[in-house]
Structure 1
Amino acid sequence: MPEKTTLTDVPHVRAAPPRRSAPQLGLILCLVSGISFGFAAVFAKESYAAGWSVPSLLTTRFLLAGLLFWIVVAIRRPPMPSPRTIVICIGLGAIGYALQSGFYFGALTRLGAAVVAQLLYIYPALVFLLALACRRETLAARKLLALAATSLGLVLLLHGGGGAGGWALTGVLMALGSAVTYAIYITVASTLPRDLDPFLSAAVICTSAAVSLGAFATSTGRLQFPTHVAAWFWLLLFALVSTVLAMVTFLAGMRLVGPSAAAILSCVEPVVTAGTSALLYSERLSGWQIAGGVAVLGAVVLLQARRRTS
């Protein structure tokens, strides 16, 4: 994501109303974003093999991405938000995004990438449950069906654990923790002002995540920087393709097609993750896991299609 960013691994910002003049461009941009996020698992696994630890990799990733976003902010010169908004963005990065990324990419060291990506995608149902608890949503037949599909998909994914690399309890808990923290992240981020510049918020969030993860890596003695060229090559791909490119194309695409359509199109992410993992690492999903993944992604479409219709 999921670093959904993933959607797996992207900061949530409210979009302007969709412009009908360029829906095809918006569709292409959202698909590019989903594909870029989908390659994050490959870049991370190759980075681990080249000598990066999870905290060091994520720290450097967010540091580089934040630097690039600050350059964009310096060029655009958007209006500064209120101190309260800045504090929320710092919290989203230092706590929300840092935890979500740490859980997700930590799970990749213990589980098959396809399973981790599919487990992350229970987060839309968790966002709905949080909205229901906050009385921002109401129950309806389609929503209940989506929740049932998510629950069934989760059971099937865990039941079929003998597939892509098997499953370990710690890895499952980390993947589920990634989904929970991302749902909380999105719920809090939805309170940000509509006119907040997305590049400014991304810059603050990425920088805060880098500081938080860097402090954790330093305190645990895991802040290390490999010297091989290959290690930095994979890091650059991770930061530029699966962070900056993925986030920019998602933000641009969301403004053209709207947030609901963008969320549905982002379902290409776990598909890309599963496909690349199968091709490069011979990870295979069991029949149960495929059925579970279809159920989870179907629930995402149900939830988002309802919002689009309304």
Structure 2
Amino acid sequence: MNQYMKGVLCTIIGGACWGISGTCGEYLCTYRGMDTRVLTDMRLLGAGIILCIFLACRERKKLQEFLHTPKALIHCIIFGVCGLMFTQFAYLTAISKTNAGTATVLQYLSAIIVLLVVCVKNRKLPVLRENIAIISCLLGTFLVATHGSFTSLYISKEGLLWGMLAALAAALYILIPQKLLSEWGSILPVGIGMLSGGIAFFILMRVWKISVQFDLITALITVVIVLVGTVLAFTMFLKGTNMVGPARGNMLGCVEPLVATICSAVFLKTVFKAMDLIGFAFIIATVFILAKAEKTKA
């Protein structure tokens, strides 16, 4: 398997893990009364601590070198606050205002932001395959979010606002760490970034003042969100994005809304109409279009 196809696989796995996590987050917020601020901070701190312990045990010299490189450390903290923290909170809040499927689809409007930034940076227009893929992604997003209506959305204004913020946050978290990932790999920046983002969020939101009620089911689902939907999802997705590029990485990750929707239908009994399924087909098509991209374009 060449590097490009490895990147494709890692990105898809990361997106799928996010989809599972989104449904778990919807369940906790809707049916267990979990505050999105608490869930956001548990994801960030839990994943950050786990990854930092792993780094301390397996890559101690690399971690020490990183901590003694001020420029990289500051870059990572910015990534943690503006990328990881912002993404987690905006996405979970969008889920609480809508549902996992809708929030996830809206988040993938970030494809437009990422592609425009990349095109401006490289001073060139998107190639044909990228144009086809982004049209497919946007059309699928439009159909899922509006059911084909040009005048109304099936979501609240708050849901739309937080969905747009989630899209902006997703674009930032893909674009900000590219240099860090190329120099330090994916685990180290994600681990330090999540820990710093979690600490910042804990202080900014005064999470310690928010009351939380835990039972066994809530605890188990939270563990799944931290391990599968955060640790595994972020490291795999960012590793894949580093291999295939931010624009293609963001597009390939649109498998996330597909998984989130399927999980919502199966586990939360959410009903989806024919227009939803058509939208899903366009989103799936995006994954296949980019997966077949030429090796020389990787």
With the shorter chain as reference, the TM-score category is 0.7 to 0.9
Aligned to 1:156: 143
Partner of 1:4: none
Match of 1:96 in 2: 83
User: Shift in Å at residue 302 of structure 1?
Assistant: 4.3
**Residue 202 of structure 1: CA displacement?**
1.2
Q: 2:180, 2:189 within 8 Å by CA — same for their partners in 1? A: no
Q: 1:300 to 1:178 in 2, by over 3 A?
A: farther
Deviations 1:219-255 (A, max 9, x none): 8x86333243333222112111211233445567x49
Write the mapping of 1:135-150 to structure 2, written as runs, cut at 5 A: 135=122, 137-150=124-137
- 5+ residue gaps, structure 2, are none
- The alpha-carbon distance between structure 1 residues 147 and 136, as it changes in their structure 2 partners (threshold 3 A), is same
Q: Which amino acid in structure 2 is aligned with residue 237 of structure 1?
A: V
Shift of 1:104: 0.9
Higher helix share: 2
1:80 aligned partner, one-letter code? F
Report what 1:114 is aligned to. Answer: 101
C-alpha distance after superposition, 1:279-305 (max 9, x if no partner): 122212333333334334544654665
Matched, 1:281 2:268: yes
Aligned residue in 2 for 1:244: 231
**1:1-310 correspondence to structure 2 within 5 Å:** 18=2, 32-48=13-29, 49-75=31-57, 76-77=59-60, 78=62, 79-80=65-66, 82-135=69-122, 137-160=124-147, 166-192=154-180, 194-218=182-206, 223-250=210-237, 254=240, 258-259=243-244, 266-299=253-286, 302=289, 305-306=292-293, 308-310=295-297
CA contact (8 A) 1:152 1:295 kept: yes
| Separation of aligned partners in 2, 1:74 and 1:236 | 21
Q: 1:277 Cα shift?
A: 0.3
Cα distance in structure 2, aligned partners of 1:266 and 1:146? 12
Structure 1 residues 301 and 119: CA distance shift in structure 2, 3 A: farther
Q: Report if the CA contact (8 A) 1:72-1:199 is conserved.
A: no
Percent identical among aligned pairs is: 21
CA distance in 2 between partners of 1:218 and 1:286 (Å) = 41
Give the Cα separation in 2 of the matches to 1:149 and 1:27: 18
Change (3 A) 1:239 1:129: same
- Confirm or deny: 8 A CA contact 1:161 1:167 kept in the other structure: no
Q: Bigger shift: 54-63 or 285-294?
A: 285-294
Q: RMSD between aligned alpha carbons?
A: 3.4
* Residue 84 to residue 161, structure 1, CA distance change in 2 (3 Å): farther
Query: TM-score by structure 1 length?
Result: 0.77
- SS of the residue 1:242 aligns to: helix
Q: Deviations over 1:102-158 (max 9, x none)?
A: 111111112132122222223233211111233354343333334433443343233
Question: What number of residue pairs does the alignment pair up?
Answer: 286
Structure 1 residues 272 and 158, CA gap change in structure 2 (3 angstroms): closer
Structure 1 gaps of 5+ residues are 1-16
